[in-house]
Chains A and B, each alone.
Chain A
Amino acid sequence: MNDPLIVSVSEFVDLLNQTLEFAYPSVIIIGELSDFKISKQKWIYFDLKDDSAKIHFFGTVYQLPGPLKDGLMLKVRAIPHLHPQYGFSLTVQHIALFGEGSIKQASELLKAQLLAEGLFDVERKRPLPYPPNRIGLITSAESAAYTDFLKIINQRWGGMEILLDNVQVQGEPAIDQLIQAVTKFNQMANPPDVLVITRGGGSVDDLQIFNHELVTRSIAGSRIPTLVAVGHEQDVSLAELAADQRASTPSNAAELLVPDKKATIAQLKITSQQMNTYLKHALQMLKISLADYKKSLQTGILQNITQYHNYLQNRSDIINLLDPQKILKRGYAIIYRQNQIVRRASEFNKNDLINIQLSDGSLNATVNKVITL
C-alpha cells in the first residue's frame, strides 16, 4: 500500500481540481431544479436533484433559457469545481430544459413575462413589404426548410436578392447563431426589407430555441420587420409571437412574402380589359353628351325663332294701329298748306289755299273764316 498523500488544504483543493479537470472537463447533468436563486440580477445559484442526491450549480443570468422555477427538469452542461471557500459546485456552461412537460411549463412562464412586457402586442406588429426587394434569410442551408422556401419563392416571384445567413437551427450553438444573425442584418448599412427566420418541424426539444428568451427578445427588437416560420402547427413558439408575422411552414412563409406571378399576370390581363372598358365608357359618355348638346342647340334655335316671331307680330300690330290711313278712315282729315301739315286753327289766315286729305282722296279749298276756341 502506498503512503498516504500529505498536502496542505490549498494544495489538496488544487490537486482535486486538476483531477476533476482531467477526468470531467465538462459534464451534462439532468435533474430537477431546486433552491433556484438570482443574486444581484447577475448571478444564479441552484441545485439539481434526484431521488437520492443533490448537487449545487453556479452561473450567470445570461445563461438562463428564460424564467425558471423549482420543479422543472433541466439538462445542464457544467464544469465541476471545488471552491477553496465554498466547497464543491458546478460552473454552468449551458442550461436547457429537459422533457416536454418542463419545456412547456418554462415556455408558459416566459410567455407570461414577455406578454406582460408587451412584446407580443398587436400594436407592435409592422406590415411586411409586399413584395420585398431584399430578403434576409436566417436558416440552415442544408435544411429542407431552405430548399422548400427557395423553391416556392422562385416559383412565385422574381427579381429579388436573398441574403442567406447560414446558421444552425437546433442545438446549443443555434441560440447564439440566431441572435448574431438578427444583429448582423440589423447592423447592415443597407439592410434587407424583411428578415425570415425559418426551420422545418421537429421535436419539442428541437424547437426549444424558438422559445428561448434571448432569441425571442432579439426578434422582437429587430428594426427590420420579421417573419418567423417554424414548421409546426401546434403550440406557436414565442419567437413567432414576437415576430411581426408568423407562417406555419417555410413554404407558407414564401407564400406570405410575395404574390404569385401567374396570378399577377392574369390580373394584368384583366386590368388591360378594364382599361378598354373605361375608354369605351368614356367614348360612350362623350357621344351621349354630344347628342344632348345637339338637342339643346335645336331646342334653343326653335325657341329663339318663336320669340322673334312674336316680337315681330307685336311690332306689326302696333304699326297697324298707328297707320294714318286707318285713322283717316275713322273720319279724320289732314290739312296741308304749301305741302306742310297745319295742326292748329290759329295758324290759318283768311284766304289761305289749303289741301284737305281724306281717306279716299283730297280737296283743294280756300279758308273763309278762322274760328279759334
Chain B
Amino acid sequence: MSKKVTNYQELSTELDILLAKLQDPTTNLDEAMSLYKRGQIIIKELEAYLKQAENTVRVLSDDKVKK
C-alpha cells in the first residue's frame, strides 16, 4: 500500500479534528496557537500531495504496472 495515501487520509482526519478544536471556545490561546501552526503545516503537506501523487494501474492477468 502506498505510504503517501495513508498519510493523506491520516493528515486529512487530523486536520478535521484540529479545526474542531480550534473552533471550540474552551480552547485556550496557547493551544489555539499550537493548533494553528500544525494546521498550516498539514495544509501545505496535503496540497503538495495532491499536486504530485499519481495513480498506478496493475493489470491482474499479467501483473504489468502502468502509470
Which among A154, A184, A274 is the interface contact of B55 at CB below 8 angstroms? A154
Which DSSP category, helix, strand, loop or mixed, fits chain A's interface?
helix
| Contact string against A for B residues 1-16, beta-carbon threshold 8 Å, 1 for contact and 0 otherwise | 1101110110000010
Q: Are A278 and B23 in contact (CB under 8 A)?
A: yes
B-binding residues in A (CB < 8 A): 133-134, 141, 150, 153-154, 157-166, 184, 261, 264-265, 268, 271-272, 274-276, 278-279, 282-283, 285-286
Number of interface residues of B (CB under 8 A): 35
B interface SS class? helix
Say yes or no: A282 contacts B32, CB within 8 Å: yes
Query: Which residues on A sit within 8 Å (CB–CB) of B51?
Result: 261, 265
- B13-52 interface (Cβ within 8 A of A): 15, 19, 22-23, 25, 27, 29, 32-33, 36, 39-40, 43, 46-47, 49-52
Chain B interfacial positions (CB closer than 8 Å to A): 1-2, 4-6, 8-9, 15, 19, 22-23, 25, 27, 29, 32-33, 36, 39-40, 43, 46-47, 49-61
Contact A278 B32 (CB under 8 A): yes
Contact of B36 among A163, A275, A286 (CB under 8 A): A275
Contacts of B53 on A, CB cut-off 8 Å?
158-159
Contact A271 B32 (CB under 8 A): no
A279 B52 Cβ-Cβ under 8 A: no
Kindly report which residue of chain A lies nearest to residue B38, judged by CB atoms.
A275
Inter-chain CA distance A160–B49, complex, in Å, is 12
B33 to chain A, nearest CB (A): 7
| Most chain B beta-carbon neighbours within 10 Å: one of A158, A164, A261 | A158
Closest CB in chain A relative to B17 CB, distance in Å: 13
Are B58's CB and A184's CB within 8 A?
Answer: no
Q: How far is the CA of A272 from the CA of B35 in the complex (A)?
A: 12
B56: chain A residues within 8 A (beta carbon): 160-162
24 sample A-B contacts, Cβ–Cβ < 8 Å, listed by A number: A133-B5, A134-B1, A158-B49, A158-B55, A159-B5, A159-B49, A159-B53, A160-B55, A161-B56, A163-B58, A164-B58, A165-B61, A184-B60, A264-B46, A265-B47, A268-B47, A271-B39, A271-B43, A272-B39, A272-B40, A278-B22, A279-B22, A282-B32, A286-B29
Complex CA gap A114/B48 in Å reads 47
Q: Closest B residue to A153 by CB, please name it.
A: B55
